[in-house]
Structure 1
């Protein structure tokens, strides 16, 4: 359910674009993002910083798209988001000496383990630091590549092709990256979690 909610504004954007146009789709994307923020707030009592950042980018670039009737602004949204994420991984790792991929995976694995075993999470999940470092670099490079790839598709192909790429291409690339991450850590997971 949470994964569907993350992609819901994108799915609605795609549907409205196909039936109306890019400007209506952009407006609906902004409204869907507001609804998504409200849902997160009522679900957990707070809104994660990343959701605020993604909403702000959608609001600013989407608003400019509608105001100036120029789809190029909304085309930059994915590039800006993926570039920020790549930059966060880079700066957090090499300036602040923190591996955000490691923190995310530890939190996710702990959450999954607690759901499966209740409070009896006696088996620690031990993944070598070198694996976390490899995954951090993989995600950093992938996000930077996708950021540039979005612009390449936006400026070298039709608007229809870009919208299809934004929805299906970016989602597919993300899915493959998640799959590669799981494959890389799979052998370190306890039997109960695998």
Structure 2
């Protein structure tokens, strides 16, 4: 359930964009009627409207996640705050200029922030964040924790580059394909990485059980 909760804004964004594309003229009418004050020039085209409404829905979904956790008295992960910050900034630019290029940068900047955060925490503050997150569940040699921290750093950095390649090179003129990649491609790559990591850690888990 936590995985579904974490991916909720992404799923809302994807669903609203796809549904908006299927009813572009109706979405355009809604956007131009109720959101004109948020748009440069006061209006968006039928092609731009689905991205505008999807971005707004994604921002609201992200914000509601935080409100829900706060209302339940639960801790809000830093990742959620960071995601909301970039969603509001780059999503706001996307809505105002009705230009999807701004929102396409959001995933890359989040991934790169994670990568930089892992490096700074490890080499400046001497704190292995991967070990801190997983240390209560696994007992691993120090060198393995170092490899895990480095592998996650490289993975996040690479994921940010992949997003830019897909958004501005591979599907430069096909925003719908980028949205699908964001919803399923990066998610699939993340799960694949976790599976590979689990296989790598299997021998240490077996040694610990023995």
Query: TM class, shorter-chain normalised?
Result: 0.7 to 0.9
Structure 1 regions of 5+ residues with no counterpart? 110-124
Tell me, yes or no, if the aligned pair for 1:131 and 1:184 is still in contact at 8 Å.
Answer: no
Which digits, 9 at most, give the CA deviation of each residue in 1:9-56, with x for residues without a partner? 111111111111111110100010111111221234442322111111
State the shift of 1:175 in Å: 0.6
State the shift of 1:191 in Å: 9.4
Match of 2:185 in 1: 169
State the shift of 1:105 in Å: 1.1
Residue 181 (structure 1) aligned with residue 194 (structure 2): no
Structure 2 regions of 5+ residues with no counterpart? 21-49
Match of 1:61 in 2: 90
The alignment's C-alpha RMSD in Å is: 1.8
State the shift of 1:137 in Å: 1.0
CA distance in 2: counterparts of 1:59 and 1:147, whole angstroms = 19
State the shift of 1:192 in Å: 11
Residue 101 (structure 1) aligned with residue 114 (structure 2): no
Using structure 2 for the length normalisation, give the TM-score: 0.79
How many residue pairs align between the two structures? 177
State the shift of 1:188 in Å: 2.9
Q: Partner of 2:198: helix, strand, or coil? A: helix
Using structure 1 for the length normalisation, give the TM-score: 0.85
CA distance in 1: counterparts of 2:92 and 2:191, whole angstroms = 29
Q: Partner of 1:97: helix, strand, or coil? A: coil
Structure 1 pair 106/44, CA: closer, same or farther in 2 (3 Å)? farther
State the shift of 1:164 in Å: 1.1
Residue 4 (structure 1) aligned with residue 4 (structure 2): yes
1:33 corresponds, among 47, 52, 62, to 62
